[in-house]
Amino acid sequence: MTVKQSVAWQALEAHLQKDIAPYSLKQLFTNAGARRFEDLSVATDGLLLDFSKQKLTPDTFSLLIDLAQQQGLGEATNALYSGGEVNRSEMRPALHTALRATPSDQGGDIQIDGQQVSQLVANNLLDMERIATKIQQGEWLGYSGQPITTVINIGVGGSDIGPHMVCHALDEFRVETKFPLEIMFVSSMDGSQLAEMLQHLDQASTLFIIASKTFTTIDTLANAETARAWLRKRIPSDSLIGQHHLVGCSAFPQRMAAWGIPVENQIALWDWVGGRYSLWSGIGLPIAIKLGMRGFKQLLKGAHAMDDHFQNAKPEQNLPVMLALTGIWNINFLGLKAHTLLPYDGRLKLLPNYLSQLEMESNGKSVTNTGESVDFDTSPVIWGDVGANAQHAFFQLLHQGTPAYYADFIVPIKRTASSEYTQATRTQLDYQQALNLANCVAQSRVLMLGDDVLAWDQSMVTSPDRLYPGNHASSTLMFDELTPENLGKLIALYEHKVFVQAVVWDINPFDQWGVELGKQIAKTTLSAIEKRQAGTITAADVKFDASTEGLLNHVFRQQS
Ligand code: F6P
């Protein structure tokens, strides 16, 4: 039996039919009056979440909280924090909360394989600090004695998107370095990003971070080999390359060593840190290099504050719980299968991409923890962009298109312009932030009310092209200002949201078996292509489907 057959689910179905389905969003506002915002928003320590533009009432939340409690949310959360085997298919804990915990926290004494987790984390932070500080102070020298001025992180998925997103978002918090320092990210398997960068770089002053939890990911290893081939062109030996130009972060030190990364340039990782939950670990080294250890620890501090909040706040005041339950309501009861994330801040441009991995790789599942097929939807399709830019792109579909979706608007209240600007520039930047905030609030209002936002007679609208149906659900998340601490809170908020939804659905958010088959088949396909090109096998030796065969034949013809 899945959660769909449970008492709490059935109660929500009945509530939907009786109390929600008959009404539009506008009517729900009219029914509740001014109280609706007070009743359906939660504020905590620098963050405010407004759920009032969702198609629900306070009773909906009471019933959703019953559902979460029925599914054992309290016990599951305790298991998550205390190192229980919450990743059931791989029989391991998921201890990203321990990466940002203080030693005195509950769970600070978790032991894994006879090792104390808090001690491992503390040592790891010291290793990161040692490497980051040397680079910042211009003391990390290339093989010829020149200081490192370019750091390139080679990784993919969780070993790329998280640090990349944070480095981009918090660029203005970068620490001063002795020499100008560029931090770049390379992930694409085709080598195009790397090829473009290498043209403009000097081997003598470039350091590569090879970031791969498994150290077997072909995308990352292929880019790393290309980088090494480029280094070899100028640097006389592999030992000089390893010592001066390579740093690695992986859960497999032997693999790093075998590949040529010396022990002193390795940062440890552990199987109890999931890839998409790893920016808080050594995988976050580019962040520590950019922000300094102080900035990196502020990011951790913010995430830790959210961990505390999630563990201790009552469900109705609990931001991750409320955000998750809103999603459950939209996906499972209102049938909304697409979710758009709209940060109104250019610095958060990469956030939708980051959150789409976090949510879709975690909860894009179709069997429960006991192996039963689900008979309800799990993760929606997630996409997004900087909200103000998306207004000139896919908002047309949001306002007048046909697919059903819901939206999260994410916006900082203020933005402090650097004191290095003139007063006139600062005034103009303040105006732009006001403009941005107004657009954010206006768009969610128009999505909700459609044409009714205007005090006009709709019969005056002559063309149906100009009609806006409205009645689209959204939440708005406001935070004081974009700082390392607030970004830490924001990311951890979504991590815990994903966890709560997984608990309700009884699925495992910490594995990703769905990505494995494609990797395996790509390997055998590559081998078949190479053998066909070398003439050691013919088409008759490998049975591909007609489409794959046709595509490969086209490639062979074009290449010959
Ligand atoms: O292919 C998916 C994935 O396994 C992600 O979960 C992970 O973040 C990414 O690949 C990179 O893996 P690794 O860090 O082991 O190279």
259: its two tokens: 């590949």
Strand (E) or helix (H) holding 502: helix 484-505
Residue 213 near ligand 1, beta carbon < 6 Å: yes
Residue 220 near ligand 1, beta carbon < 6 Å: yes
Residue 156 near ligand 1, beta carbon < 6 Å: yes
Ligand 1 mutation target, pool 512, 513, 516, 520, most atoms within 8 A of CB:
512
Of the candidates 195, 533, 505, 205, the one whose C-alpha atom is nearest the C-alpha of residue 365 is 505
Of the candidates 313, 291, 283, 240, the one whose C-alpha atom is nearest the C-alpha of residue 47 is 313
- Looking at residue 34, its pLDDT comes to 87
Taken in order 229, 234, 239, 241, is the CA torsion positive or negative?
negative
Residue 212 near ligand 1, beta carbon < 6 Å: yes
CA 143 to chain centre: 36
- Looking at residue 543, its pLDDT comes to 85
What's the mean per-residue pLDDT of the chain? Answer: 95
- Looking at residue 466, its pLDDT comes to 85
Residue 470 Cα to ligand 1 middle (Å):
40
Mention every residue, 6+ apart, whose C-beta is less than 8 A from residue 128: 267, 282, 284, 285, 288, 293, 296
Catalytic pick from 200, 392, 420, 543? Answer: 392
- Residue % of the chain over a pLDDT of 90: 91
* Residue 512 CA, closest ligand 1 atom number: 6
Nearest protein CA to atom 3 of ligand 1, as residue: 157
Residue 158 near ligand 1, beta carbon < 6 Å: yes
pTM for this structure?
A: 0.97
Nearest protein CA to atom 8 of ligand 1, as residue: 158
How far is Cα 163 from Cα 290, in angstroms, rounded to an integer? 10
Res. 455 pLDDT band, cuts 50 70 90: low
* Residue 155 CA, closest ligand 1 atom number: 16
User: For residue range 71-117, what is the model confidence (pLDDT) as tens digits?
Assistant: 999 999 999 999 999 999 999 999 999 999 986 775 568 999 899 99
User: For residue range 280-315, what is the model confidence (pLDDT) as tens digits?
Assistant: 999 999 999 999 999 999 999 999 999 999 999 999
**CA separation (Å) from 229 to 23, 130, 191, 203, 473?**
64, 27, 13, 11, 52
**CA separation (Å) from 553 to 518, 545, 558, 559?**
21, 12, 9, 10
Mention every residue, 6+ apart, whose C-beta is less than 8 A from residue 401: none
φ and ψ of 374, to 5 deg? -75, 145
Q: Is 361 a catalytic residue?
A: yes
Residue 157 near ligand 1, beta carbon < 6 Å: yes
User: For residue range 400-425, what is the model confidence (pLDDT) as tens digits?
Assistant: 999 999 999 999 999 888 888 999 99
Nearest protein CA to atom 13 of ligand 1, as residue: 212
Q: Is residue 457 scored above 80 in pLDDT?
A: no
- Looking at residue 3, its pLDDT comes to 97
Residue 515 near ligand 1, beta carbon < 6 Å: yes
What are the start-end ranges of the E strands in 413-470? none
Residue 378 Cα to ligand 1 middle (Å):
21
What average pLDDT does range 382-389 have in this prediction? 98
Residue 162 near ligand 1, beta carbon < 6 Å: no
- Looking at residue 267, its pLDDT comes to 98
Nearest protein CA to atom 16 of ligand 1, as residue: 212
How far is Cα 379 from Cα 436, in angstroms, rounded to an integer? 30
Start-to-end CA distance of the chain, whole Å, equals: 57
Catalytic pick from 361, 485, 496, 497? Answer: 361
Nearest protein CA to atom 10 of ligand 1, as residue: 157
* Residue 250 CA, closest ligand 1 atom number: 14
Residue 487 Cα to ligand 1 middle (Å):
23
- Looking at residue 406, its pLDDT comes to 98
- Looking at residue 458, its pLDDT comes to 62
Bridging pattern class, strands 474-479 and 405-412? parallel
- Looking at residue 542, its pLDDT comes to 85
Residue 139 Cα to ligand 1 middle (Å):
32
User: For residue range 25-56, what is the model confidence (pLDDT) as tens digits?
Assistant: 999 999 998 899 999 999 998 999 999 999 99
- Looking at residue 102, its pLDDT comes to 81
Residue 274 Cα to ligand 1 middle (Å):
9
Q: Tokens 């579909």 identify what position?
A: 397
Q: Who has greater pLDDT, 347 or 454?
A: 347
- Looking at residue 178, its pLDDT comes to 97
Residue 153 near ligand 1, beta carbon < 6 Å: no
Least confident of 59-63, 111-115, 462-466: 462-466
Residue 405 Cα to ligand 1 middle (Å):
28
286, 151 contact by CB (below 8 A): yes
Residue 161 near ligand 1, beta carbon < 6 Å: no
Res. 540 pLDDT band, cuts 50 70 90: confident
479, 47 contact by CB (below 8 A): yes
Least confident of 130-134, 249-253, 418-422: 418-422
Q: Is residue 460 scored above 70 in pLDDT?
A: no
**Residue 165, amino acid:** M
Q: Is 392 a catalytic residue?
A: yes
Alpha helices (H) along 364-422: 387-390, 395-400
Residue 504 Cα to ligand 1 middle (Å):
26
- Looking at residue 368, its pLDDT comes to 97
Q: Is residue 456 scored above 60 in pLDDT?
A: no
* Residue 276 CA, closest ligand 1 atom number: 8
**CA separation (Å) from 415 to 56, 95, 164, 490?**
32, 33, 21, 17
